[in-house]
Amino acid sequence: MHAKVGDWLVVKGTVLDTPDHFGQILEVHSPNGEPPYVVHWTHSDVDAVVVPGPDARVITPEEHEHEAQRRQDRISEIERNISQHHPHSSSSAAPRDKET
C-alpha cells in the first residue's frame, strides 16, 4: 500500500449495514508512501496513526469525490423510488391533534 498526503484511506464496513469509514491522509513519513499514516477520520473527527489492514485501500482525492457523488446519486435514486411507490409518504409525520 502506498499513499501521499491528501489521499484517502477507505476501510470497508465488515458487517452488513455498517458503512465504510473514510479518512484523509494527513501525514506520510515513509519516503515511498508506505504505512503508517496519520489519518483524519471523518466519521469521528479524530486524527490517528493508522497501519491499514487488508480491509483498507487508498484512493486519490478525485476518486474520493467520484465515490461521494456516486453514493449521493444512489441515495437520491432510492428516495425517488420510495416516493414513486409510496406517493403519500413523507419524511415528516402529520401533526397530531392537541390533547385536551
Q: Domain-by-domain residue ranges, the chain?
A: 8-85
Say how far apart CA 93 and CA 82 lie, in whole Å. Answer: 16
Predicted confidence (pLDDT) per residue in 28-78, tens digit: 999 999 999 999 999 899 999 999 999 999 999 999 999 888 888 888 898
DSSP alpha helices (H): ranges in the chain?
61-85
Q: Is the pLDDT of residue 89 over 70?
A: no
Number of separate helices (H) and strands (E) present in the chain: 1, 5
pLDDT reported for residue 38: 98
> Does the CA dihedral 86-88-90-92 come out positive or negative?
negative
Fold classified for 8-85: SH3 type barrels. (2.30.30)
pTM for this prediction: 0.70
- For residue 5, give Cα distances in angstroms to 40, 45, 52: 11, 17, 15
